Structure 1
Amino acid sequence: IASEEAMARDRLRRRQLEAVIGAFDQGVLVVDEYGIMTQANRYALDALHLSAEAVVGRPLQDVLTGTGLYDALGSGTEIKHHRTRLKQHSGETVDAICNAYPVAIDGKTLGAVLTFQHLDDVSKLTYEIWEHENRTTSFDDIIGDSQPMLSVKEFAAKIASGNSTVLLRGESGTGKGLMARAIHRESKRRDGPFVVVNCSAIPDTLLESELFGYEEGAFTGARKKGKLGRFELANRGTLFLDEIGDMPLHLQGKLLRALEDRMIEPVGSVESRPIDVRIIGATNRDLDAMVESREFRKDLFYRLNVVPIWMPPLRERQEDIPMLARFFLDKHCRTAGRRMAALSDAALRCMLAYEWPGNVRELSNSVEYAVNIESESTVRATSLPQRVRVAKRSDGPNEAGGPQGLEALERTAIVEALQRFQGEPRAKEKAARELGIHVTTLYRKLAKYDLA
């Protein structure tokens, strides 16, 4: 009876161990001291396209390429984050990140446990962590109903579902990063990673290894077992190359090869690896002039400039300023724990008169400044940064200290739009489109200003 109870306990422990191994969200392979596989969980079987019966009793080398990991296991060495390739039943290989833990009794190695994750799953995990910290952006999150902004959003939505390289161009602070995220969200790669590289923020000496990764011992200070690059982390997703115009000339050729061949070569490696990423580039620099001066490769420019999108500066979509200012007022009040009902007409006149060389980013910073120093429930012009308070537009009569309020400005814009399309078919629809508002909104404003 005691023997039967012991056997029952052993069976229970074995079932429990199998349940634990099966619950892992990564592959698990157990080998004995001779390197023969004795156990595998469902993740491993699915990754290798094998049944449990086909795995048990086979040498580990049947599914593991190379000898580095196998030799290390033989010596009883623990291994972490080792890049390797596993062989599937069909003969194809899959890239994986492996860990190995020797099993030893009294100093004698009696086997090992290998865990691994498919490289795509590692990339997906990186994306999910990013998603947790950074909410995805849709086209609806990009604020602006002006005609220039509506045209850009409409065009971007049209090309989002494709796989072509996109180049976002425009001044600093115009929202190129938001647009890149919105394109990714509306693309077929929305469930894949969205990985960002700021080409101007990473030192030239590190940018190559950040983009393409590196092998162990590639350079002094290199991490043991190497490091995955942003290209591989973005596999089956989108790689956003911000400030692409600042990429060093000596790296542009390697980037060109990655775009043309869909292959990368990590630093210190002689082996090329396939990639499946969509590239979105962004720059505020004049790439055409840089090509002429040979600061930027012409062939790379053409490869990046497949679908160019120009982001309009804020001064060319002035009618979006009140909406944006209100959004930033709410946002910064929440952050600062303040309550402010509105922006005064005088403050809005100052904002409409200012040229905004820093575009939407500068507008956000100016509203944040006002929220911090305003003592009343309405933001007054005196609370705005001095450069905004004293501004006078050079292209129109609406100066900061002028007599026209925001409603007068709006009424004038509506009258001018109606006059432009007077006598034409569907004149009000055309006027509404030019004003960047819906035609029903136009009718409400016509009634409001006695223009019906």
Structure 2
Amino acid sequence: MKLEMRRLSFEWLMEIIQLCIERIIVVDRDGIVIYIDGAYCEFLGISFEEAIGRPVQAIIENTRMHIVARTGQKEIEHLHPINGSVMIANRYPIFIEGQLVGALGTVIYSDPDNVRAQKNKITNLCNALNLYKNKALNEGTCKYTFDDLVGDSYEFQVAKALGEKVARNDSSVLVTGETGTGKELFAHAIHHSSMRSDFPFVAINCASIPELLFETELFGYEDGAFTGAKKGGKLGLLKLANKGTIFLDEIGDMPLSVQSKLLRALQEKEIQPVAGQKSIPIDIRLIAATNRDLEKMVQEGTFRQDLFYRLNVISIEIPPLRKRKEDIEAISQYLLRKIERRFYKKGTMLSSEVVDKLQRHMWPGNIRELENVLERAINVLDGTVITLEHLPLYIKDQADHSIKQEPPINNASTNGTVQTIQPLKETLAQAEKRALVHALTVTSGDKLAAAKLLGIGKTSFYDKCKLYGVK
């Protein structure tokens, strides 16, 4: 069946022309204006009646319409200065039945405000594109390794050694500790040392996602799942982490309604997007972190018991900074190197008085608070040595009495002097290290023989040597 094109009425054609973003003018073969739209007339400061029938050069400065009407050569994207503005002009010859009868001219950006608006719009689009491009490049990669976990204190070394050991397998890991202790750094380091290091590392802060959006963010949704849904649907973060590691920070803030679906995804190794009709297989390793007491939350009914046991296969507790006073100087030096790169500085050091003050503070904000204090100091630093004057007042004025420790347990020796007794963990650690060194000395470095002397297995012996730095 042959379709015939419907003829448009004059009123339709006029309305279409007025709706076009481009302004239009038409001249005959002699360059006489035979049509011009209203917006173009308004810009030129002339009425439609005054323009019609006049030579185009008489109403438009710097025009070339009459030239195109005579030569039949089109001119595309020419810059056309007019009335203090610069327009982009296109000029087309009009041929009817092979005969040149006139020319059509179009212009856009008919005033400076429009030019600036379009330029700003394009600039904003480019900035947004770069933002999403950088985000895509940065997401899905881990930033830290175990070398970035600084500290020699016993409890921290135990946590670090456990992290290095479990990194090789696929078991779920629950990292606990106060806010600012570096739980996410541990998650990054575990992923980096795992067999999944070549695949995505996707970090999610459960406290930052509104409850209503949690399910769609985690599991994704199908096309048309709800009003305003993105066309084509959306991949969930669990799917984006496929073959890699998903890190759920602040998991204690995950809504109960989502916990059951997460548990099923971990058990069945598949997810079902919102409004989806079929399940999607996934292969992920889960690392979770929290500063809350999940066991207490389980008792209170605010966290699922079965999910807690699923998460708590391997538990790593990171000690707070106030229990790692001997690590503060080393951590500070590491943070200074990191901050220096942003301030284009090098060789910044801490005075001994500053180190003493930092070690006396309680650090309720832990390493995050320490980093803020050091950044503040570098901001006001003129030289390379951070002194007391560069510290915030609450550190300088309150550090001496802000720390609250239990009084030391003293033991009077036979000669009347008083000796401070170390905590039992440190005493046992030192005793173990001495025993390892002594056994290796007796066996001339034969680790198998040393393990037999100590009555422990080979694997346990090697783990302890690594933990205490015994070569």
Residue of structure 2 equivalent to 1:275: 282
SS of the equivalent of 1:200 reads helix
Cα separation, 2, equivalents of 1:429 and 1:207: 55
Deviates more, 1:336-345 or 1:356-365: 336-345
Residue 130, structure 1, aligned to residue 131, structure 2? no
Residue matched to 2:308: 301
Unaligned runs of 5+ in 2: 1-132, 409-421, 441-463
Distance 1:208 1:126, change over 3 A: farther
Match of 2:208 among 174, 198, 201: 201
Q: 1:284: Cα distance to partner?
A: 0.7
Question: Is the CA contact 2:142–2:201 (under 8 Å) kept in the aligned structure 1?
Answer: no
Question: 2:330 maps to which residue?
Answer: 323
Q: In the alignment, which residue of structure 1 is the partner of 2:177?
A: 170
Say yes or no: does 1:382 pair with 2:389: yes
Q: Is the 8 A contact 1:215 1:227 kept in 2?
A: yes
2:256 to 243, 249, 259: 249
Equivalent position amino acid for 1:378 in 2: V
Q: Note the C-alpha offset of 1:384.
A: 1.2
CA apart distance, 1:333: 2.7
Counterpart selection for 2:160 from 142, 146, 153: 153
* Corresponding residue SS for 1:321: helix
Q: SS of 2:194's equivalent?
A: coil
Higher mean displacement: 250-259 or 140-149:
140-149
> Is the counterpart of residue 141 in structure 1 residue 151 in structure 2?
no
Q: Residue in 1 aligned with 2:125?
A: none
Moved more, 327-336 or 237-246: 327-336
**Residue type of the alignment partner of 1:350:** K
How far the C-alpha of 1:426 sits from its partner, in A, is 6.3
Report the Cα distance in structure 2 between the residues aligned to 1:427 and 1:352, rounded to whole angstroms: 31
C-alpha distance in 2 between matches for 1:366 and 1:126:
29
1:179 and 1:216 mapped to 2: Cα distance?
37
Tell me which residue corresponds to 2:404: 394
Counterpart for residue 364 of structure 2: 357
Matched letter for residue 262 of structure 2: L
Structure 1 residue 252 displacement after superposition? 0.9
Q: Paired residue for 2:244, among 237, 245, 249?
A: 237
Cα deviation, residue 335, structure 1: 1.4
Quick one: distance in 2 between partners of 1:268 and 1:394?
Answer: 55
In structure 2, the CA distance between the partners of 1:290 and 1:327, relative to structure 1 (3 Å rule), is: same
| Aligned mates of 2:267, 2:386 — CA distance in 1 | 53
C-alpha distance in structure 2 between counterparts of 1:429 and 1:323, whole Å? 31
1:19-53: CA deviation from partner (whole Å, max 9, x where unpaired): xxxxxxxxxxxxxxxxxxxxxxxxxxxxxxxxxxx
Q: What is the correspondence of 1:62-141 to structure 2 with a 5 Å cutoff?
A: 129-130=137-138, 136-141=143-148
Task: Classify the secondary structure of the residue corresponding to 1:197.
Answer: strand
Counterpart of 1:15? none
Q: Distance in 2 between matches of 1:437 and 1:163?
A: 26
Count of residue correspondences: 297
Once the two structures are TM-superposed, the CA of residue 330 in structure 1 deviates from its matched residue by: 2.5
SS in 2 for 1:182: helix
Instruction: Pick from 269, 291, 295 the counterpart of residue 298 of structure 2.
Output: 291
204-213 vs 377-386, greater mean Cα deviation: 377-386
Distance in 1 of aligned mates of 2:346 and 2:144: 26
Q: Which amino acid aligns with 2:225?
A: A
| Conservation of the 8 A alpha-carbon contact between 1:165 and 1:279 | yes
Q: Tell me: CA distance 1:126–1:343, structure 2 relative to 1, closer, same or farther (3 Å).
A: closer
Question: Measured at CA, do residues 260 and 144 of structure 1 come closer, stay the same or move farther in structure 2, by a change above 3 Å?
Answer: same
CA-to-partner distance for each residue in 1:247-295, whole Å, 9 max, x for gaps? 0111111111111111111011121111111111111111111111111
The one-letter amino acid paired with 1:199 is C
Matched residue type, 1:343: L
C-alpha distance after superposition, 1:179-209 (max 9, x if no partner): 1011111111111111111111111111111
Identical residues among aligned pairs (%)? 45
1:179 aligns with 2:195: no
1:338 Cα deviation from its structure 2 partner: 3.7
Tell me, what secondary structure is at the counterpart of 1:295? coil
Higher Cα radius of gyration: 2
- Contact 1:127–1:193 (CA under 8 A) maintained in structure 2: no
- Structure 1: runs of 5 or more not aligned: 1-124, 399-411, 441-452
TM-score by length of 2: 0.57
Counterpart Cα distance in 1 of 2:161 and 2:370: 24
Looking at structure 2, the residues matched to 209 and 292 of structure 1 have their Cα atoms a distance apart, in angstroms, of 28
Give the deviation of 1:136 after TM superposition: 3.2
Q: Tell me how far 1:337 sits from its aligned partner.
A: 2.8
Instruction: Tell me by how many angstroms 1:145 deviates.
Output: 1.9
CA contact (8 A) 1:370 1:383 kept: yes
- Give the alignment partner of residue 234 of structure 2, picking from 227, 232, 241: 227
Question: Which one-letter code corresponds to 1:151 in the other structure?
Answer: V
C-alpha separation in 2, matches of 1:273 and 1:345: 58
Deviations 1:305-329 (A, max 9, x none): 1111111111111111001111222
